[in-house]
Amino acid sequence: MPDFQRAFADHYPQPGYCLVLRPFTEPADRAWGAIKESLKRTFRWTDVADLSTAGSIMEQVLVEIARTDVVIVDITGDNPNVFFELGIARMAKPESKVLIVRREGDEDDRPAASSARRENVVPFDIQSDRYLSFKTTDQGIQAMLPMLETRLWNALENSQWFVIGKGEAFVVGPVEDADSSATLVEVLPTRFLERQFGPKAGRVHVAVTIRRTVDDHETAPDAAAPQSLEGSLGCGDTLALGSLPWRLKFHWFEDDKARFCVEPASRPI
């Protein structure tokens, strides 16, 4: 039996990472291959079908759920394994970070035996949840993509939030960069500026240091990024983190506490 507690204690959600949990069927392969191809330059994807078969697959799925920011669950066909994984994701993550989808009318779509309709048939347990349904034609996928992309961005908007006061350093991570190396982002606010018009108005001056983990306990300066990044951020402003694929976003400050998040750098304006 996989060690649930250890998997979630040893792994942290990675900003901008999306995991797709789905049946291992040819129709699912086709549909998610097309979706991933359309959105792969915007979001970081892990498809459960791409995981290595060596070792315990359930252990690997647990680790991926723990380290992924947003989980997309394809419930087509009422697959028992998928529903088991959905239950784990719903227990481990906020509701907004678990997106449920269903492919209508695909070969592996089994409607409820008590209904002749193929549309909007989902198990009773999750009928109250918001979910996306789409037909896996080219037109159906293209029509669904804007809705999926919007929901992904809404879920990722709250990625890696943290609150920090003046003079306190906050280490974000470990997070993974494009080379799959663990990286630490140290954020140090140094000044709060232009405080006026209430708690959500103003600017904060920050210094950021980027370090790359050498092993489990040691870090070294990231040679690919400046040793220190500095900037003055207003509410909603972002700061590029060197060559890393994220930006530091300042959200608000109040009582000498500033709230930031680390979000994917590729978000369209």
* CB-count exposure of residue 11 (10 Å: 0-12, 13-18, 19+): middle
Per-residue pLDDT band for 147 (boundaries 50, 70, 90) equals very high
Question: What residue spans of the chain are helical by DSSP H?
Answer: 4-10, 26-39, 57-67, 80-92, 138-156
**What count of other Cβ atoms lies within 10 Å of the Cβ of residue 258?**
25
Distance of alpha carbon 204 from alpha carbon 238, whole angstroms: 11
Torsion angle in degrees (nearest 10) through CA of 171, 173, 174, 175: -130
The predicted pLDDT at position 171 comes to 84
Q: Phi and psi dihedrals of 55, rounded to 5?
A: 80, -160
For the chain, the domains span 4-156, 161-264
Q: Which residues pair with 33 in a beta bridge?
A: none
Class of domain 4-156: alpha beta
The predicted pLDDT at position 112 comes to 43
Q: What is the pLDDT of residues 203-241, one digit of tens each?
A: 889 999 888 776 655 666 666 566 688 999 988 889 988
Are 173 and 241 contacting, i.e. CB atoms less than 8 angstroms apart?
no
Among 59, 68, 123, CA closest to 97 = 68
Average pLDDT of every residue of the chain: 78
Are 186 and 209 contacting, i.e. CB atoms less than 8 angstroms apart?
yes
Token pair belonging to 89? 């994701």
The predicted pLDDT at position 223 comes to 60
**What is the arithmetic mean of pLDDT over 84-103?**
89
Per-residue pLDDT band for 267 (boundaries 50, 70, 90) equals low
The predicted pLDDT at position 101 comes to 93
The predicted pLDDT at position 23 comes to 92
Q: What beta strand segments (E) does 66-122 contain?
A: 68-74, 98-104
Distance of alpha carbon 7 from alpha carbon 11, whole angstroms: 6
Per-residue pLDDT band for 179 (boundaries 50, 70, 90) equals low
Are 167 and 258 contacting, i.e. CB atoms less than 8 angstroms apart?
no
User: Is 0.85 surpassed by the pTM of this model?
Assistant: no
Are 96 and 154 contacting, i.e. CB atoms less than 8 angstroms apart?
yes
**What is the arithmetic mean of pLDDT over 10-39?**
86
* Residues in Cβ contact with 14 at an 8 Å cutoff, skipping those fewer than 6 apart: 44, 67, 68, 69, 175, 176
Amino acid (1-letter code) at residue 265: A
Amino acid (1-letter code) at residue 152: L
